[in-house]
Copies of this chain bind each other. A is one copy, B any other.
Amino acid sequence: MAEGANAVEAALAAGTVHELFVTARAAEQHADLVDAARAAGVAVSPITDRAADGLSETVTPQGIVAVCALLDRPLEEAVTPGARLVVVLVDVADPGNAGTVIRVADAAGADAVVLAGDTVDPHNGKCVRAAAGSLFHLPITRVRDVPAALAACSAAGLRTFAAHGYAEAELDRVDLTAPTAWVFGNEAHGLPADVLERTDLAVRIPLYGKAESLNLATAAAVCVYTSAMAAHR
A45 interface hit (Cβ, 8 Å): no
Q: Is the CB of A209 within 8 A of B138?
A: yes
Partner of A215, one of B100, B138, B220: B100
Q: Is the CB of B208 within 8 A of A232?
A: yes
Q: How large is the interface on A (under 10, 10 to 19, 20 to 34, 35 or more residues)?
A: 35 or more
A205 interface hit (Cβ, 8 Å): yes
Q: Is the CB of A107 within 8 A of B225?
A: no
Q: Is the CB of A232 within 8 A of B206?
A: yes
| Cβ–Cβ < 8 Å partners of A205 in chain B | 107, 225
Q: Is the CB of B106 within 8 A of A215?
A: no
Q: Is the CB of B209 within 8 A of A172?
A: no
Q: Is the CB of B132 within 8 A of A232?
A: no
A137 interface hit (Cβ, 8 Å): yes
CB within 8 Å of B: which of A205-233? 205-215, 217-222, 225-226, 228-229, 232-233
Q: How far is the CB of A149 from chain B (nearest CB, A)?
A: 21
User: Taking CB as reference atom, which chain B residue is nearest A219?
Assistant: B221
Partner of A104, one of B109, B110, B214: B214
A104-B214, A106-B210, A172-B233 provided; 11 other pairs, C-beta below 8 A?
A100-B215, A100-B218, A103-B211, A103-B214, A108-B208, A109-B208, A132-B215, A133-B211, A133-B212, A137-B211, A225-B226
